[in-house]
A = this chain, B = another copy of it.
Amino acid sequence: MAKSRNTEQKIFDAATELFLEKGVDRTSVREIASRAGINLALMNYYFRSKENLFDAIFTALMKKNSEELIRILNSDLELNEKIRQYVHVYIDMLSENPLLVSFVMSILHRSRERITEMKAINSLYATDQFTRQIIEEGKKGNIRRTDPTHFFVDMLSLIAFPFAIKMLVMDKNNITEKEFQGFILERKERVPEILIDNLRPRR
């Protein structure tokens, strides 16, 4: 029993590393077994298939990383402060897992039919309370009336997309990994500024 948990975990960990590094499709189950130091057949004993293993990993990654973001979004923080915290925490999270974005996006492309079915991915987009807050603030005249869907998409775009084109940005601006980290750090201030600016009521 102790040993089985251990084996399962070793497979899980090895697969997580490889999926994030090389993508799911370019990782073979033999490679996973090899890195985990176990036999190929054990792969299928613990997780029925590669696809199943992937689902388990994806669900765990989403759960682990989305809980704090959801908490912030559903909190009763004042709007501008909520935006600042959300952007900060999200960018910090992606900085620590820079491969997460392209991983998630490849998933979105992989299975275009059954996205709602993947409950894990719902956690990325739980905006009911946030939507209400934006509409209400608009009615009060505290902010410019704006479309909450657009606003949330703007926010996600400015946060996540730079990680997806990380290598392009590094190559084209001739900067190192460390300098890219600095670039991303600057965005923790810049992105909330853009978003809040855009909400400011007009003359």
Chain A positions within 8 Å of B, measured between CB atoms, are 23, 25-26, 99, 102-103, 105-106, 108-110, 112, 115-116, 121-122, 124-125, 127, 147, 149-150, 153-154, 156-158, 160-162, 164-165, 167-169, 171-173, 183, 186-187, 190, 193-194, 197-198
Contacts of A187 in B (CB 8 A): 150
- The verdict on A121 contacting B168 (CB below 8 Å), with A23-B110, A106-B109, A198-B197 known, is yes
- The verdict on A190 contacting B150 (CB below 8 Å), with A115-B168, A167-B115, A172-B127 known, is yes
Contacts of A112 in B (CB 8 A): 167
How often does this chain occur in the complex, in copies?
2
Contacts of A197 in B (CB 8 A): 197-198
Q: Which residue of B lies closest to A168 (CB)?
A: B125
In whole angstroms, how far apart are the Cα atoms of A110 and B102 in the complex? 10
Contacts of A165 in B (CB 8 A): 105, 108, 153, 156
Tell whether, in the assembled complex, residue B162 and residue A157 are in contact, meaning their CB atoms are under 8 Å apart.
Answer: yes
In whole angstroms, how far apart are the Cα atoms of A121 and B99 in the complex? 20
- The verdict on A171 contacting B116 (CB below 8 Å), with A150-B187, A187-B150 known, is yes
Q: Which residue of B lies closest to A171 (CB)?
A: B116
> Can you list 14 residue pairs at the A/B interface with Cβ under 8 Å?
A99-B109, A102-B108, A105-B109, A108-B167, A108-B168, A115-B168, A125-B168, A147-B186, A149-B183, A150-B187, A157-B158, A157-B161, A157-B162, A158-B158
- The verdict on A164 contacting B115 (CB below 8 Å), with A25-B25, A149-B183, A197-B197 known, is no
Tell whether, in the assembled complex, residue A150 and residue B115 are in contact, meaning their CB atoms are under 8 Å apart.
Answer: no
Q: Which residue of B lies closest to A170 (CB)?
A: B115
